[in-house]
């Protein structure tokens, strides 16, 4: 039986995290609210990738439209542009739209743990950490020697194969992993949904002319990942690479359900660094990296919409559109200084050059195919420089009766082209009345700079960044009752975002202009309780949010955000080799903006509340011989075949996305 099920209270409370302060610290006194999903929990519940892992976070707002994973944190939602995505502390944010771009290309097999920091943290991480940070800590960093092959097969042609190997050769530590995923993602219920104009599109012009042959619907995806890390004494190098080919899901279904909006995209992150320890109290690193991404898309074009009366009268063709490749060259350095046993400093510099590739359309003309850069594309904004310096000090005071008080203060100065410079503070105070509990008070500021798309078609030379301010009070505690160990984190907060981008057209000058305006405030509470005993493991999460309302015609409502969400996980290990886990996910009813059925305007629709149950039956530790063992699992998604929907915060047609029906996949892992 795994040691996690016998973890002591002290071990549980001292679980280390690094995302909150860019240094290892215990979960209990981490500078803010941090949720940790470890490898054992991922294995017990059978989660395949980062999408399924993040679904367990009570105040993570995600919606899946069968292409990538938009969303946000704490009652803010959109395209994940305000959540910073890291792999082993290194940013892998999409360069084009600053998105935490997650598809099926973050497989769980390579993950040691996922750390999710809630709330603004631009002080240490810079832009795009306005709502929080997701740090994926890989297994490549470990010192254990592992060789592992894993995979799965499932319905709708779903297949995945994974490989992981870590170890040491003389003084060289190495880690390598790879994965391949392929699926048709073509459920019968999904095909039915996209042909139902009342539930799906509500675009009278297109709906009347679409090809009605449902057998032609296509929603396939294929991707691969490759990770490498090498360490030799104080030097290290590595790479994170991913490639994906998929369609645009059901957010943008083509007129014929087949042609157009096929996407090919990927990125590669290469890095080289050196760790330093000039003195016993000093340590740090200097690292250079190159991030490269590309995006190719076959977009469907249609002629004859104004005169056609049926699909057969339309001229449907594909126009290729590329962006990139784009590059970011980066220099990072950070040093820490333990001035006294009670005082710790962090200093850092972060500088990078970004070169966004031009948008190129391949347009058919009378003389052939011509490459064209749209006139609205902001070529002058493609190159930009960013520089930042930051510092953080943490001071600890020992109080009477064994209590202690920790104060962490950080400040960042951020300067970059085409937007305002900013001073970004973060202050966190932790009071520990005893070793098992902590009160935390946090104030933070953050920002999200404008993207190349927000400059597209506008005449502005500079745009103010979007900003986020937050106050948060957190109470975290651990205790033991009989043979059960508990830990709980409860937080209340208030966050305000300002400077939203809105494009307006000036009829006098014939130009678009981006206006920076508006605020959005969300107050809320969240709680995550975990427990474990010799045979039981589980968690219960809940959230309540109260965002500002949005005006649609004459009606005001909270849109696209369920006020309450509940998460329940239960895992029971009845023998050394067999265990059963259930994950229950509940969303409250949600309102969203939708096209009216006649296409004359907008109305508010309500997406019903829903509850789903996923099940995982795990059989592990079967020895083939002295070195080889096999783990098998049966994962059932949507066990009771509930029909449920995610809303579409990014548009009004479609206004909702149906999710997967009940389906089964078989999973295996072989260790050598």
Q: Select from 307, 312, 200, 189 the least CA-distant residue to 256.
A: 312
Average pLDDT, the chain: 92
Does residue 160 carry a pLDDT above 70?
yes
Q: Select from 318, 210, 304 the least CA-distant residue to 257.
A: 210
Tally of CB atoms within 10 A around 637: 23
- pLDDT, greater one: 45 or 507: 45
Q: What is the mean pLDDT of residues 481-498?
A: 95
Contacts with 451 (C-beta within 8 Å, 6 or more apart), sequence order:
81, 96, 97, 98
Torsion of CA 239, 245, 246, 248, to 10 degrees: 80
In the numeric block, the tokens 């990538």 are attached to 68
**What does the block give as tokens for 205?**
């012009």
Kindly report, residue by residue over 183-205, the tens digit of the pLDDT: 999 999 999 999 888 888 888 88
pLDDT confidence of 514, banded at 50, 70, 90? confident
Kindly report, residue by residue over 56-111, the tens digit of the pLDDT: 999 999 999 999 999 999 999 988 999 999 999 999 999 998 898 898 889 999 99
Kindly report, residue by residue over 444-469, the tens digit of the pLDDT: 999 999 999 888 877 778 888 999 99
pLDDT of residue 565: 98
CA atoms of 77 and 61, how far apart (whole Å): 6
Q: What is the mean pLDDT of residues 484-509?
A: 88
Kindly report, residue by residue over 304-361, the tens digit of the pLDDT: 988 999 999 999 989 999 998 999 999 999 999 999 999 999 999 999 999 999 999 9
Does residue 248 carry a pLDDT above 90?
no
Kindly report, residue by residue over 405-423, the tens digit of the pLDDT: 999 999 999 999 999 899 9
**Please, are residues 363 and 370 in contact by the beta-carbon 8 Å criterion?**
yes
Q: What is the sign of the dihedral through the CA atoms of 186, 616, 612 and 251?
A: negative
**H or E segment to which residue 355 belongs:** strand 343-355
**Please, are residues 441 and 493 in contact by the beta-carbon 8 Å criterion?**
no
pLDDT confidence of 3, banded at 50, 70, 90? very low
CA atoms of 604 and 247, how far apart (whole Å): 28
pLDDT confidence of 1, banded at 50, 70, 90? very low
Q: What is the mean pLDDT of residues 639-666?
A: 95
Q: What is the mean pLDDT of residues 214-233?
A: 94
Beta bridge partners of 296: 264, 322
pLDDT confidence of 521, banded at 50, 70, 90? very high
pLDDT of residue 206: 86
pLDDT of residue 235: 97
| Angle (nearest 5°) at CA 201 between 199 and 207 | 115
Q: What is the sign of the dihedral through the CA atoms of 665, 666, 671 and 672?
A: negative
The radius of gyration of the chain from alpha carbons, rounded to an integer in Å, stands at: 25
Kindly report, residue by residue over 258-306, the tens digit of the pLDDT: 887 899 999 999 999 999 999 999 999 999 999 999 999 999 889 998 8
pLDDT of residue 454: 87
pLDDT of residue 518: 87
CA atoms of 505 and 435, how far apart (whole Å): 59
Does residue 220 carry a pLDDT above 90?
yes
Does residue 2 carry a pLDDT above 70?
no
pLDDT of residue 7: 62
**What does the block give as tokens for 20?**
């909150």
Tally of CB atoms within 10 A around 16: 14
The pair phi, psi for residue 124, each rounded to 5°, is -100, -25
Give SS3 for 48.
coil
Kindly report, residue by residue over 601-619, the tens digit of the pLDDT: 999 999 999 999 999 999 9
**Which DSSP symbol is given to 271?**
E
Task: Decide the pairing of beta strands 343-355 and 235-247.
Answer: unpaired
Give percent of the chain above pLDDT 70: 99
pLDDT confidence of 367, banded at 50, 70, 90? confident
CA atoms of 80 and 77, how far apart (whole Å): 7
Q: Return the HEC string of 66-103.
A: CCCCCEEECCCCCECCCEEEEECCEECCCCCCCCCCCC
pLDDT confidence of 20, banded at 50, 70, 90? confident
pLDDT of residue 508: 74
Give percent of the chain above pLDDT 90: 72
Q: How far apart are the first and last CA of the chain?
A: 19
Tally of CB atoms within 10 A around 340: 9
**What does the block give as tokens for 404?**
């202690």
pLDDT of residue 103: 85
């Amino acid at each position: 039986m795994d040691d996690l099920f016998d973890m002591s209270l002290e071990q549980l409370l001292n679980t280390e995290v690094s995302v909150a302060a860019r240094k290892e610290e215990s979960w209990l006194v981490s500078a803010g609210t941090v949720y940790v999903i470890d490898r054992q929990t991922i294995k017990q519940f059978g989660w395949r990738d980062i999408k399924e892992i993040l679904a367990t976070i009570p105040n993570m707002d995600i919606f899946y439209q069968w292409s990538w994973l938009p969303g946000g944190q704490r009652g803010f939602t959109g395209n994940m542009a305000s959540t910073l995505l890291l792999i082993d502390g290194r940013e892998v944010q999409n360069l084009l739209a600053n998105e935490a771009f997650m598809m099926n290309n973050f497989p769980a097999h390579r993950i040691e743990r996922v750390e999710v920091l809630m709330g603004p943290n631009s002080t240490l991480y810079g832009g795009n950490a306005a709502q929080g940070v997701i740090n994926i800590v890989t297994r490549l960093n470990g010192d254990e020697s592992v060789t592992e092959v894993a995979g799965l097969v499932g319905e709708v042609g779903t297949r995945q194969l994974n490989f992981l190997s870590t170890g040491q050769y003389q003084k060289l530590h190495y880690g390598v992993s790879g994965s391949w995923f392929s699926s048709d993602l073509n459920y019968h219920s999904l095909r039915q949904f996209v042909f139902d104009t009342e539930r799906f599109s509500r675009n009278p012009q297109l709906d009347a002319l679409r090809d009605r042959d449902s057998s032609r619907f296509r929603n396939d995806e294929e991707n691969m990942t490759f990770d490498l890390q090498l360490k030799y004494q104080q030097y290290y190098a590595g790479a994170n690479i991913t490639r994906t080919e998929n369609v645009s899901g059901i957010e943008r279904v083509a007129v014929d359900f087949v042609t157009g909006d096929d996407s090919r995209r990927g990125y590669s992150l290469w890095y080289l660094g050196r760790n330093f320890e000039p003195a016993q109290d000093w340590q740090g690193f200097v690292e250079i990296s190159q991030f490269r991404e590309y995006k190719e898309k076959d977009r469907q074009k249609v002629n004859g919409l104004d005169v056609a009366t049926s699909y057969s009268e339309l001229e449907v063709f594909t126009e290729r559109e590329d962006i990139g490749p784009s590059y970011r060259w980066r220099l990072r350095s950070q040093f820490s200084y333990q001035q006294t046993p009670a005082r710790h400093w962090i200093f850092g510099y972060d500088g990078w050059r970004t070169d966004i590739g031009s948008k190129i359309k391949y347009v058919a003309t009378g003389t052939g195919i011509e490459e064209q850069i749209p006139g609205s594309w902001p070529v002058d904004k493609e190159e930009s420089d960013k520089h930042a310096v930051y510092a953080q000090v943490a001071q600890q005071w020992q109080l009477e009766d064994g209590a202690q008080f920790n104060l962490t203060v950080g400040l960042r100065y951020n300067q970059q082209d085409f937007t305002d410079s900013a001073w970004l503070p973060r202050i966190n105070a932790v009071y520990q009345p005893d070793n098992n509990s902590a009160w935390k008070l946090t104030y933070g500021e953050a920002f999200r700079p404008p993207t190349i798309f927000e400059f597209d078609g506008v005449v502005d030379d500079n745009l103010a960044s979007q900003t986020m301010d937050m106050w948060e009070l957190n109470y975290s505690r651990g205790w033991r009752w009989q043979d059960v160990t508990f830990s709980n984190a409860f937080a209340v907060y208030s966050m305000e975002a300002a400077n939203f981008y809105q494009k307006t057209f000036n009829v006098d000058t014939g130009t678009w202009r981006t206006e920076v305006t508006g605020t959005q405030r969300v107050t809320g509470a969240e709680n995550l309780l975990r427990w474990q005993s010799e045979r039981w493991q589980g968690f219960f999460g809940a959230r309540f949010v109260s965002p500002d309302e949005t005006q649609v015609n004459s009606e005001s409502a909270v849109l696209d955000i369920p006020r309450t969400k509940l998460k329940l996980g239960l895992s029971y290990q009845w023998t050394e080799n067999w265990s059963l886990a259930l994950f229950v996910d509940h969303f409250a009813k949600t309102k969203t903006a939708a096209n009216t059925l006649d296409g004359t305007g907008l109305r508010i629709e309500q997406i019903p509340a829903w509850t789903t149950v996923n099940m995982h039956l795990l059989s592990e530790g079967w020895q083939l011989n002295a070195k080889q063992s096999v783990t098998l699992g049966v994962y059932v998604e949507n066990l009771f075949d509930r029909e449920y929907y995610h809303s579409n915060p990014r548009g009004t047609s479609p206004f909702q996305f149906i999710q997967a029906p009940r389906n089964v996949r078989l999973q295996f892992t072989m260790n050598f």
